[in-house]
Amino acid sequence: MKTGDAERPDTLSAPDNRSGSDASRKRKRRRKKGGQLRQAQSQQQTAQAQPQEARSPGSRKKHQRNRRSLQGRPLTAPSDRAAPAVARPQPTSDARQQPQAERALAPPPPSDLYAALDLGTNNCRLLIAQPTRPGQFRVVDAFSRIVRLGEGLGSSGRLSDDAMDRAIEALRICASKLSTRNIRRHRLIATEACRAAENGEEFLARVTAETGLELEIINRETEARLAVSGCSSLVGRETRSVVLFDIGGGSSEIAVIKTGENRSARLANHITHWTSLPVGVVTLSERHGGRDVTPTVFDAMVQEVEGMLAQFESPDVSELADDPDSGFHLIGTSGTVTTLAGVHLGLSKYDRRKVDGVWLSDTEVNAMQAKLLSWDFAGRAANPCIGPDRADLVLAGCAILEAIRRRWPSPRMRVADRGLREGLLTDMMADDGAWRRQRHRSNAGWRGRPGDKT
């Protein structure tokens, strides 16, 4: 026997059969146990390796994307069912059939914007508006600036260079606003300062050359009618007679209105008497002084205006208020009456929405005028409803108001923060049939439902 063979007794020796069988069974049991142990270790290693695989670069990115996709969504209980998907509205068949290029080249709908500009003795104002319900409109853009175009006009008879420069600067802003809008129709007017000045026409030619705006000088009758048109919505249907006044910078327009039983759609058609006094807050304050106004100076201003009103042939208050159901009252549209209303309401900042249409009793107007007369220039300038630009003009306006109240005493007065611009817009829209177009569009766009009344 070779030496090497002695090293493999299990294969070459012939041991006892019983002991060999036991050894074989033991080896099988050991192999089986070893296999089970190796399988258990393998499963354990696999379980420990799974989180590592989940944090592998690819799986981490996918996991992060899933987390991000869930952020911001409301949490739903597992038992909740998913909400049904909402169908998105589809374009109409006509829109789908129309080529995109053709839709892009289609002309825009016609504009319903109207513009009105009023260049007065003291202010430059612009309104751009769109008609809404019959007789009403929505303001789209507005501009107002004190320019004092009539400064020094009473003594020189001419518009000064500084005053014209201020006005043109404001008109440039108005021209810029108009150029950015698709305006259907506009009207640009100038009033007393350009009417009375020797160089009024020359100034308007300069305005056209430097701003491109062409302004027309309107006469006093037109100005009075426009003031009435602008305030027509503040005269109630039950009112049978009213005296409306507009205290301007260089002139003051007064209109006596009697509506009777059949009221026209245009209140200006019911004007029975009108006048335009050649005096306003600028001209009166320059003649009497506006900074330091004593009771004596104030009375002198009132008497001057009363003398002008004495020449105006019009019905007395007894004829206007003879019927207790006439609802006679005064209605004022100007910076003077809106200032009185703002002071009366104690506004910390002027608010047109609170002032326009407010009623003031005769006692309240007296109290406000006395309060303003008791303040010096600095006190008036400090009031937020007056300010430094009007501090030297407001008492002259109060003097004109006092003369009107003495001529037509009334227990109440209505305040209107509106005037010529609103009158211009109202007339243009009415002449152009703007409200008829609005009704037509509303009816054309109405589809109706069963049971709706037509």
What's the burial of 73, exposed, middle or buried (CB within 10 Å: 0-12/13-18/19+)? Answer: exposed
**Is residue 142 pLDDT above 70, yes or no?**
yes
- 231 near 418, Cβ under 8 Å? yes
Reported as a pLDDT band with limits 50, 70 and 90, residue 140 is very high
Could you tell me the pLDDT band of residue 96, with boundaries at 50, 70 and 90?
A: very low
pLDDT at 435: 80
When the pLDDT of each residue in the chain is averaged and rounded to a whole number, the result is 80
Look at 314-323, 370-379, 386-395 and tell me which has the smallest mean pLDDT.
Answer: 314-323
Structural domain boundaries in the chain? 110-218, 220-431
| pLDDT score of 30 | 65
Task: Grade residue 98 by pLDDT with cuts at 50, 70 and 90.
Answer: very low
Reduced to 3 states (helix: H, G, I; strand: E, B; else coil), residue 387 is coil
pLDDT tens digits along 218-257: 999 999 999 999 998 899 888 889 999 999 999 999 999 9
Q: Which residues of 314-345 are buried (b: 16+ CB within 10 A; e: fewer)?
A: bbeeeebbeeeebbbbbbbbbbbbbbbbbbbe
pLDDT at 82: 38
d(CA 402, CA 250): 17
The residue type at 70: L
Check: pTM over 0.75? Answer yes or no.
no
Shared fold status for 110-218 and 220-431: yes
Higher pLDDT, 97 or 12: 97
Please give the single-letter amino acid code of residue 109.
Answer: P
Structure confidence at residue 440 (pLDDT): 56
Reported as a pLDDT band with limits 50, 70 and 90, residue 84 is very low
Q: Are 409 and 317 in contact (CB under 8 A)?
A: yes
Give the pLDDT of residue 285. 96
- Percent of the chain having pLDDT more than 70? 71
Q: Which residue has the higher pLDDT, 74 or 51?
A: 51
Q: How confident is the model at residue 43 (pLDDT cuts 50, 70, 90)?
A: low
Is the pLDDT confidence value at 348 over 90? yes
The answer to whether residue 29 scores a pLDDT higher than 80 is no
- The pLDDT, as a whole number, for residue 316 is 80
Class of domain 110-218: alpha beta
SS3 140: strand
Q: What pLDDT score was predicted for residue 49?
A: 47
Rounded Cα distance between 166 and 5, Å, is: 128
Neighbours of 53 (CB within 10 A): 10
> How confident is the model over 104-133, as a mean pLDDT?
82
Contact call for residues 172 and 101 (beta carbons, < 8 A): no
Note the pLDDT of residue 55.
44
Secondary structure of the chain as H, E, C letters: CCCHHHHCHHHHCCCCHHHHHHHHHHHHHHHHHHHHHHHHHHHHHHHHHHHHHHCCHHHHHHHHHHHHHHCCCCCCCCCCCCCCCCCCCCCCHHHHHCCHHHHHHCCCCCCCEEEEEEECCCEEEEEEEEECCCCCEEEEEEEEEECCCCCCHHHHCCCCHHHHHHHHHHHHHHHHHHHCCCEEEEEEEECHHHHHCCCHHHHHHHHHHHHCCCCEECCHHHHHHHHHHHCHHHCCCCCCEEEEEEECCCCEEEEEEECCCCCCCCHHHHEEEEEEECCCHHHHHHHHCCCCCCHHHHHHHHHHHHHHHCCCCCCCHHHHCCCCCCCCEEEEECHHHHHHHHHHHCCCCCCHHHHCCCEEEHHHHHHHHHHHHHCCHHHHHHCCCCCCCCCCCHHHHHHHHHHHHHHCCCCEEEEECCCHHHHHHHHHHHHCCHHHHHHHHHHHCCCCCCCCCC
> For the segment 294-347, what is each residue's pLDDT rounded down to a tens digit?
999 999 999 999 999 999 998 888 788 766 667 899 999 989 999 999 999 999
Task: Give yes or no for a contact between 156 and 84, defined as CB atoms under 8 angstroms apart.
Answer: no
CA distance 214 to 128: 17
Mean pLDDT of 112-133: 95
Tokens of 359: 């009623």
Q: Whose CA is closest to 239, among 131, 339, 330, 341?
A: 330
For position 92, what pLDDT does the model report?
40
Topology annotation, domain 220-431: Nucleotidyltransferase; domain 5 (3.30.420)
Across the range 171-186, mean pLDDT stands at 96
* Beta bridge partners of residue 361, listed in sequence order: 412
- Tallying the residues shown for the chain, one arrives at 454
Is the pLDDT at 170 greater than 50? The verdict is: yes
User: For 412-451, what is each residue's pLDDT tens digit?
Assistant: 999 999 999 999 999 999 998 888 766 655 544 433 333 3
pLDDT of the residue at 71: 36
How confident is residue 12, by pLDDT bands cut at 50, 70 and 90? Answer: very low
Q: Which residue has the higher pLDDT, 326 or 89?
A: 326
How does residue 31 score in pLDDT terms, banded at 50, 70 and 90? low
Contacts of 411 (CB under 8 A, 6+ apart): 329, 361, 362
Instruction: Give the side-chain half-sphere CA count within 13 A for 290.
Output: 23
Residue 152's pLDDT is: 94
